[in-house]
Structure 1
């Protein structure tokens, strides 16, 4: 006789429900243990009955199973984000490649290369772009030239001002030198006059009469007189 399938729905009879829970829980724990042994799997089973009672089974330890579960759950949650970010970066890279390719083509056309594929309108547009670019370049060149001219004028003004200050200092030094030279010349002339006057006032030895020289030589010396007094006394 074939056993009929039981409908999977809540059992209303509390007694039958408790019996079924006990049988199924025991079979689940047995299957989990067998699976962990046969396949070397890390298994953790947690069961709360309708009355709130806890039943659990762990092939290693419930703490390590829960920690591993939380870690794997976080990694699984991050993987979709990483995959989404990778897809975004890939699309961004493709877009940048296209932009780079367009810029390279535009640069070659501005350099006058690969113009055979352009139509008349494209050539006119390219001509307008080049004229506008030349206008901007000339404007920038004139601006740079004017700035350089202003800088050179400022330097020239600074040099001229420095020259004026140096001329003033030179005039002051020249005046002091002329004044000192005049004083020195006057002092020199006065010294010469005094020398001449002294030379005229004091006669030479040859010009002094012999009589006067004889009288000077015959006058007794004071220290000789003192010596004679001491000897006689």
Structure 2
């Protein structure tokens, strides 16, 4: 039958507590000794009882020597880490100081560009500031000129498109006028056709078909020449793009 699990808590009975301390202390010292012998390890064990009595074990010749070695390994690492953190903090602070000085210098230079804080500047410094302002102004003017040239090129391109469209319309109008002059009998036939068409209900002289062509009706108040001109204007307008109207 196995032993039950012992709950780890302070033993309230004083006698039982002292007996347990003695047993476990001896067992712990024995384990430390066995560890040092079996594994060739340097072991140091320090125990203080509840009454302040010291019990110790050290596998090395001197407990003090082992403690010094512990301090070198433990506190040396802590000190090195602390030194590294301190150096990092110092470097960050120095970088902060440099950035702050640079920021203040830039603010001072900005105020000088606006014509402020100029009383402490000498002649050479004022001339240097003047050159800097002149250089900045030149770059601004160059950029402005470039933008204006780009807009002018765009306007010229649109002008060429409009001129080309105008030339096409002019050629078309000349062709219509030439055809009308070379075939005068066409106007007579159109007049006969117009007279045979029924009058429009609203009194107008023509209407548009679904395919976009203009059908001219009979109107006593409109002459054949006016109808021909209206037909020519309709042909011209059909060639003009919607965005030019």
Shorter-normalised TM range: 0.3 to 0.5
Q: Which has the higher helix share?
A: 1
Find the structure with the greater CA-based Rg: 1
Q: State the structure with bigger RCO (CA 8 A, min sep 6), 1 or 2.
A: 2
With normalisation by structure 1, the TM-score equals 0.40
TM-score, normalised to structure 2's length? 0.38
